[in-house]
């Protein structure tokens, strides 16, 4: 239990009378890639902001043993800094000031001196990912980081990201409504329903299991049959 990088115990979050998250308990294993799927508006991003410490729960406890970085949906870039400056922003106190490798990874070397308002939504998301990787954080929280990317870039980024996370032993939580993305990246999938957000199913993704079978299990857990 001690080496769990993140642990939520009976967490509840209220905004006035509205209950956003109700009595939610979950744990993240070290080096695990946990994906939380659920429909839009069920409280996925709110849950992620609780995990990041950006919001405090109304009741319950959140234990976080590692420093985390959040990859937002592209709107977390600082508009007065260039792409390069944004990438090294989180790393200025450490010795990771050279953004070359991160720029190479996201395929944006040519845009190093551009400002965020000059980039497309997908490019912004890629810079956000690069910023999180540059900081070499052991725990990364991703809020639908591929939602604005085109199909090919999305596929490439997923593969690269999974490889980097595995090689560097990074623990990760990703929230998405894209089931294919969840199956491709996850070691474990939590199916969320709401509001109030609650876990309705937990699916361990076996490496040998065909993706279609995992998708069918998720659909079944939300009361839909795969066609």
Partner 1 sequence: MEHMSTLWMANTRIFRFEDVIKSIGTNRGWQVSLFVLLLWYLASATGFFPESVFPSPKQVLQAFVEEVTNGRLWRDIYASIFRLLCGFLIAVFIGVPMGICLGAYPQLRAYGFPIINFLRNISTLAWIPFAVLWFGIGDSPVIFLVFLGAVLPLSLSVCLAVPNIPRIFFRVAQDSQLTSKEVLFKIILPALGPQIVSALRLCMGLCWIILVAAEMVAGRDGLGFAVWDARNGLRNDILAMEMLIIGALGICLDKVMMRLTLLPSLRWGYER
Which CB atom, from 76 or from 122, has the smaller least distance to partner 1?
A: 76
CB of 49 vs partner 1, minimal distance in Å: 8
Which CB atom, from 81 or from 216, has the smaller least distance to partner 1?
A: 81
Which CB atom, from 171 or from 205, has the smaller least distance to partner 1?
A: 171
**Alpha-carbon radius of gyration of the chain:** 18
CB of 29 vs partner 1, minimal distance in Å: 22
CA distance 58 to 195: 16
Give whole-number Cα distances, 163 to 41, 184, 189, in Å.
30, 12, 18
CB of 117 vs partner 1, minimal distance in Å: 5
Which CB atom, from 76 or from 107, has the smaller least distance to partner 1?
A: 76
Query: What is the CA 119 to chain-centroid distance, rounded?
Result: 21
**121-134 and 151-168 helices cross at what angle (nearest 10)?**
10
CB of 112 vs partner 1, minimal distance in Å: 11
Which CB atom, from 89 or from 215, has the smaller least distance to partner 1?
A: 89
Q: Which residues contact 109 (CB under 8 A, 6 or more apart)?
A: 100, 103
CB of 89 vs partner 1, minimal distance in Å: 7
Give whole-number Cα distances, 213 to 17, 35, 63, 162, 178, in Å.
40, 17, 34, 21, 16
Which CB atom, from 84 or from 176, has the smaller least distance to partner 1?
A: 84
> Contact, 182 vs 218, CB < 8 A?
yes
> Contact, 116 vs 45, CB < 8 A?
no
**β 6-15/59-64 pair status:** antiparallel
CB of 205 vs partner 1, minimal distance in Å: 28
Chain positions contacting partner 1, by CB under 8 A? 49, 52-54, 67-70, 72, 75-76, 78-82, 84-85, 88-90, 92-93, 115-117, 135
Q: Which residues contact 196 (CB under 8 A, 6 or more apart)?
A: 19, 20, 21, 22, 43
């Amino acid at each position: 239990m001690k080496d769990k990088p993140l642990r939520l115990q009976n967490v509840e979050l209220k905004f006035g009378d509205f209950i956003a998250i109700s009595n939610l308990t979950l744990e993240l294993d070290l080096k695990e890639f946990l994906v939380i799927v659920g429909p839009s508006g069920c409280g996925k991003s709110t849950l992620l902001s609780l995990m990041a410490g950006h919001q405090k729960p109304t009741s319950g406890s959140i234990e976080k043993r590692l420093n985390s970085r959040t990859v937002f949906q592209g709107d977390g870039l600082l508009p007065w800094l260039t792409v390069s400056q944004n990438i090294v922003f989180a790393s200025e106190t450490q010795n990771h000031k050279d953004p070359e490798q991160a720029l190479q990874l996201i395929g944006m070397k040519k845009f190093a001196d551009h400002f965020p308002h000059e980039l497309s939504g997908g490019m912004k998301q890629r810079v956000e990912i690069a910023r999180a990787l540059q900081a070499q954080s052991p725990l990364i929280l991703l809020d639908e980081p591929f939602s604005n990317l085109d199909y090919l870039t999305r596929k490439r980024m997923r593969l690269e990201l999974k490889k980097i996370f595995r090689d560097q032993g990074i623990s990760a939580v990703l929230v998405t409504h894209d089931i294919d993305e969840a199956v491709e990246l996850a070691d474990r999938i939590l199916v969320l329903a709401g509001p109030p957000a609650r876990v309705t199913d937990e699916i361990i993704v076996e490496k040998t299991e065909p993706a279609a079978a995992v998708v069918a299990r998720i659909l079944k857990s939300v009361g839909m049959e795969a066609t």
